Each structure stands twice: as structure tokens, then as C-alpha cells.
Structure 1
């Protein structure tokens, strides 16, 4: 049985080295598809581009923040209480605005037959 296109939501993860300057670099995407019970993140950090925004940025800290997002998506207990929540609640946690160096952008949506493939497409298109 073919299910057909399912709605999904996604947020782009932005690295904001200096909040006061409001400059950011897209570094990842989180995609949630309720119908497919799918929540995942992919990311790619361009160290040179981040350092060009702020020479003092700790790129390893940015990567660790993105690895935390991975753990929340996977329900990994190392991510604490957020990872123990139902999948929709985990997406809600990840899309919530925050003032840390890695911030989610606005929520967008679409439809897809393959959430994993769509997530890779969004990474290529929005992060590079």
C-alpha cells in the first residue's frame, strides 16, 4: 500500500556567533513528519565561514550543540528530559526560540513521500 505524500515541518538551524550583530550562518535542518513518526536533524559546519563571522567562535562548541540536537531527535538519554518526551514534543523543544549560539529559524512546511530524502534535499538547498 502506498501512503502518498505526507505533511512535514522543518526548521533551519542557524549559528549566531554574535547575537548583537544579528548575523548568522545556516548550519543544519530539523525535519518532523508526524504521519511517518519521523524526527531527524542533519547539519554541516563550514568552519572557515563561521570564523569569518567571528574569529573568536568556538566551532567545537557549535558542533557539540548540533550533536545535542541529534541526541534529542534520536531520543538519546544523554540529551536529558527533552529526549524522553514524545516525538512531537521533542520537535517543539527544538523549534523553540533561544538565545544560544545555535538557534532555530521559523517553522516551514511541505509534503513529501520520503522524509529522510527531503531532509537531505533541504540540507543541500539551505545549508550548502
Structure 2
């Protein structure tokens, strides 16, 4: 499969295609209830991959008073580490941002799950990551 690179020039300057997915905490998988707890953003044209997280403990505990907050935080921190690369990425450190993003957004049946991947256009992927966290999580 070949990835395509698109750039849109117009009002506001050059904008690049980016992809993003929400990180959801599903404390009781059998119930299917979730709390949005982060966002992963990938922009191939800029070799950008980042995750920002924010865990609203009170919302999570409302769904499951016995939720493992420390475990959830560790899982969210691990996603941020894989995105950041380097030593914090573990075995994924050798991978380029694209394969790391694809691995992170692969469907899984765990407490911290990625949502579907969406796309958009941005001139600033880092600012887009903050904007999406504010809009969809906080």
C-alpha cells in the first residue's frame, strides 16, 4: 500500500494532511462505556507524531469506582512515550513515525483503546494536537 502526500496551498498558507485518533478509556469492556483521555496526531509530510493525554479521574471513577487509575495512567504515558520516540518508545524506537502511529491505532481489546482514525488539514500539527485535546477530551 502506498501513502499519498497532499499539500493544500491557499488562504492561511500551506496545510498538510494529518491523521488523528482519540484514546478512550473503557474500564469495563463488557459495558462499552468510555471516557476520552487523549489524542494521537500523525502528519506524514512533517514526520510528526505526538500524543497528548488528560485523564479526568472523576469521570472514569463514575463509570467504574474500582478503576485502576495508576494502570490507566501508565498506559497513557506509554502511548506518549511511543509517539515521542527515543528510549521512551521501547522496541518501537527504531520504527519511523508512520509505523508507530499504525501500531498505536490498531484495534485492541484493552482498557485504553484507540478510536477510529480521522483526517484533516493543518499548517501546525503540534497546535492541532493541542486543539483536538481541548475540543475532544478536556
Same fold (TM over 0.5): yes
1:78 CA drift (Å): 4.0
* 8 Å CA contact retained: 1:30, 1:39: yes
String of CA shifts for 1:1-43, please: whole Å, max 9, x gaps: x970000000000000011000000000000000011000001
* 8 Å CA contact retained: 1:41, 1:73: yes
* 8 Å CA contact retained: 2:27, 2:34: yes
**Alignment counterpart, residue 8 of structure 1, candidates 11, 14, 18:** 18
Map of 1:1-128 to 2, 5 A cutoff?
4-128=14-138
Q: Which runs of 5+ in 2 are unaligned?
A: 1-11
- Cα distance in 1 for residues equivalent to 2:93 and 2:61: 31
Considering only aligned residues, what root-mean-square deviation do their CA atoms show, in Å?
1.3
Give every structure 1 segment of 4 or more consecutive aligned residues whose post-TM-superposition deviation is greater than 4 Å. Answer: none
- Cα distance in 2 for residues equivalent to 1:58 and 1:84: 31
- Cα distance in 1 for residues equivalent to 2:13 and 2:44: 13
SS of residue paired to 1:4? strand
- Cα distance in 2 for residues equivalent to 1:83 and 1:32: 16
Q: Which runs of 5+ in 1 are unaligned?
A: none
* 8 Å CA contact retained: 2:20, 2:41: yes
Instruction: Give the TM-score taking structure 2 as reference length.
Output: 0.88
Instruction: Give the TM-score taking structure 1 as reference length.
Output: 0.94
String of CA shifts for 1:36-65, please: whole Å, max 9, x gaps: 110000010011110000011011111110
